[in-house]
Amino acid sequence: MPEIAAQAYFLKAAAAPLERERLALPSPGRNEAIVEILACGLCHTDLSYASGAVPTKHPLPLVLGHEAVGRIAAAGADVLLPVGTDVLIPAVLPCGVCALCRSGRGNACADQKMPGNDIHGGFSTHMLVPAAPLVSLAQLGAGVDLRALSVVADAVSTAYQAVRRAGVGADSLVVTVGAGGVGGFVAQVSKALGARVIACDVKADRLAQLRAFGAEHTIDVNGKDPGVVRKEVRGVAKEWRIGSERLAIFECSGTSDGQLLAFALLERAATLLIVGYTPKKVDVRLSNLMAFDAQVLGSWGCPPEAYPAVLELIRKKRVVLDPFIDYAPMSRLNQLLTAMSEHKLERRMVLDPKT
């Protein structure tokens, strides 16, 4: 195979600017593919890695980025998808053969590879990845801006998997703690499945936007005691005549305050999903789970076999992407990471590696 002249942005040291350099890519193995990257989303997890708040599993230097969409440029002998296929690269790439994968829990696979954490990621012109988890985008047909689909690799699919894990349906009440990013897509997916949605956030403008995309009721929780928020949620649930056994709370803020609030919203037989991540510890009374006969679940990523259902929601416009994303050249990556750290980004950024 002719050598591919790949370029990528490497994190060489925590809290240092990412540096654009040549990326040497070996020929793909029998079950590997090289994907030409069309776009890659920028996630708060990337900021955590770049700042050093969370260490990467792969030693530095490492190419970050785990929300990538692209086109197969080269493939190994055993890869089923042909060269030229447009694909989504899931943020969690399970091995596909272990007991967890065989049981349908590939997102918990101990041998999974996460781009931008375990292997070089999508802040690059090309990626070398295991081919089996790649998701063909053929079902979407023509006329779709493939760049926008990059955020499906994590933000949308992670939301879908969490909603699916919670068993949300037409008779559910969903409360999202954190209405941006994954939380906003939890609201959209839940609404698409027939649930009624309450969104909680500290930003009024974020809540206002989500009222047009899934949330029937919003609560600005900035400075509010969790008990006050819980009383309001109870009042709405009573008005909507939905019992606490159909309550699903999604902690998507990735903050300790958000986790404390989400736990405080637990009711009898309710379900709490921990979707956001923070390295900080929280102090909660676990006995509430016993007293309420409630459950708390974690949700990480999304197994590749669930992606077609996510894409179908997008194809039918039951989940929309454009109002929540914006585009930028990948050459602005370091400035955008700084803006993200200063909470100045209002939308999820999708980056073009060719500019």
For Cα atoms 257, 258, 259, give the angle at the middle one, nearest 5 degrees.
Answer: 90
Q: How far apart are CA 103 and CA 107, in angstroms?
A: 11
Residue 323 to residue 210: CA distance in whole angstroms: 10
Task: Give the CATH number, domain containing residue 79.
Answer: 3.90.180.10
Residue 320 maps to a domain: yes
Q: Do 173 and 255 have their domain in common?
A: yes
| Range name among 79-93, 117-131, 137-151, 188-202 with the lowest pLDDT average | 137-151
My answer on whether 171 and 284 are in the same domain is: yes
Neighbours of 211 (CB within 10 A): 15
Compute the distance between CA of residue 344 and CA of residue 147 in angstroms, rounded to an integer: 22
Same domain, 179 and 198: yes
Q: Examine the domain organization and report whether 323 and 265 are in the same domain.
A: no
238-256 in b/e burial notation, b at 16+ Cβ within 10 A?
eeeebebebbbbbbbbbbe
Q: What are the Cα distances from residue 261, in Å, to 34, 266, 271?
A: 43, 9, 14
User: In the predicted model, what is the mean pLDDT of the chain?
Assistant: 95
What CATH number is attached to the domain comprising 198?
3.40.50.720
Same domain for 209 and 288:
yes
Say yes or no: 143 and 227 in one domain. no
Q: Quick one: pLDDT band at residue 93, thresholds 50, 70, 90? A: very high
- Per the structure, the count of domains in the chain is 2
Same domain, 291 and 316: no
> In 3D, which of 104, 301, 278, 305 has the Cα closest to residue 177?
278
For range 83-101, the mean pLDDT: 96
Residues 255 and 165 reside in one and the same domain = yes
Assigned token pair, 36? 């030409």
| C-alpha span between 274 and 263 (Å, rounded) | 10
User: Has residue 137 been placed in a domain?
Assistant: yes
Residue 143 pLDDT > 90: no
Q: What is the pLDDT of residues 269-294, one digit of tens each?
A: 999 999 999 989 999 999 999 999 99
Phi, psi of 34 (to 5 degrees): -100, 125
Coil, strand or helix: which one is 156? Answer: helix
pLDDT at 4: 79
Question: Does 238 reside within a domain?
Answer: yes
Query: Range of 118's domain?
Result: 6-154+302-352
- Helix, strand, coil content of the chain in percent (nearest 5): 30, 25, 45
Q: Is residue 1 part of a domain?
A: no
